């Protein structure tokens, strides 16, 4: 038989085991209990002994959230969001690397050189924006780039 082991104070599923009831009942882990059945801890939590679907994760490519097991809500994960935004910014910067090479740079018009420098500086300054990492004004990429 399958059993879902969970934290009785938060409802967070810690594992699913296949065992006999006496084996599961003898686990004796503080603040841990079990229910019959196998429930995925990435999709469910246990509320008063009943498997309950987690709310939909609002994370996007850049905005990352983590689940708060106490209040059962998704909260912004500043660290993960910062990493995602910096990674995106670095991808934009890497698309300009060839143009920064002195040989290529010299082949650009003066206007293109200025546009490229302005664009790269704006990308480098993204982390200094007042709303970073949740509110970003991305610089406009030069049309010729």
Burial of residue 64 (CB within 10 Å: 0-12, 13-18, 19+) is buried
Q: Among 35, 54, 73, identify where a domain stops.
A: 54
CA distance linking residue 42 with residue 24, whole number of Å: 22
- The pLDDT of residue 28 is 65
- The pLDDT of residue 49 is 94
- The pLDDT of residue 78 is 96
User: Structure pTM?
Assistant: 0.79
73-76 and 65-68 strand pairing: antiparallel
- The pLDDT of residue 130 is 96
Positions of the chain with pLDDT lower than 70, given as ranges:
22, 24-29
Q: Is residue 61 domain-shared with residue 86, that is, in the same domain?
A: yes
CA distance linking residue 12 with residue 77, whole number of Å: 18
SS3 of residue 96 by DSSP: coil
Q: Is residue 32 domain-shared with residue 62, that is, in the same domain?
A: no
* Number of folded domains that form the chain: 2
Tell me what the pLDDT averaged over the chain comes to.
91
- The pLDDT of residue 112 is 93
Q: Is residue 44 domain-shared with residue 68, that is, in the same domain?
A: no
| Parent domain of 117 | 55-145
* Paired residues of 73 in beta bridges: 68
- The pLDDT of residue 145 is 86
Which of these, 94, 89, 99, 97, lies nearest to 123 by C-alpha position?
89
Q: Is residue 111 domain-shared with residue 126, that is, in the same domain?
A: yes
- The pLDDT of residue 89 is 97
Q: Is residue 44 domain-shared with residue 61, that is, in the same domain?
A: no
CA distance linking residue 38 with residue 54, whole number of Å: 15
pLDDT digits (tens, 9 = 90+) for 10-49: 999 999 988 877 676 666 667 888 899 999 999 999 999 9
CA 118 to chain centre: 30
């Amino acid at each position: 038989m399958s059993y879902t082991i969970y934290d009785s104070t938060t409802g967070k599923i810690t594992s699913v085991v296949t065992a006999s009831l006496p084996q599961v009942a003898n686990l004796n882990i503080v603040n841990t209990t079990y229910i019959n059945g196998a429930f995925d801890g990435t999709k469910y939590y246990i509320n008063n002994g009943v498997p309950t679907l987690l709310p939909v994760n609002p994370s996007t490519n850049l905005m990352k959230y983590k689940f708060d097991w106490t209040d059962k809500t998704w909260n912004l994960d500043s660290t993960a969001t910062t990493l995602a935004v910096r990674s995106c910014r670095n991808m934009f910067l890497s698309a300009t690397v060839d143009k920064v090479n002195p040989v290529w740079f010299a082949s650009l018009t003066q206007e293109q050189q200025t546009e490229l420098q302005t664009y790269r500086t704006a990308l480098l300054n993204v982390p200094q924006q007042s709303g970073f990492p949740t509110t970003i004004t991305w610089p406009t990429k030069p049309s010729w780039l």
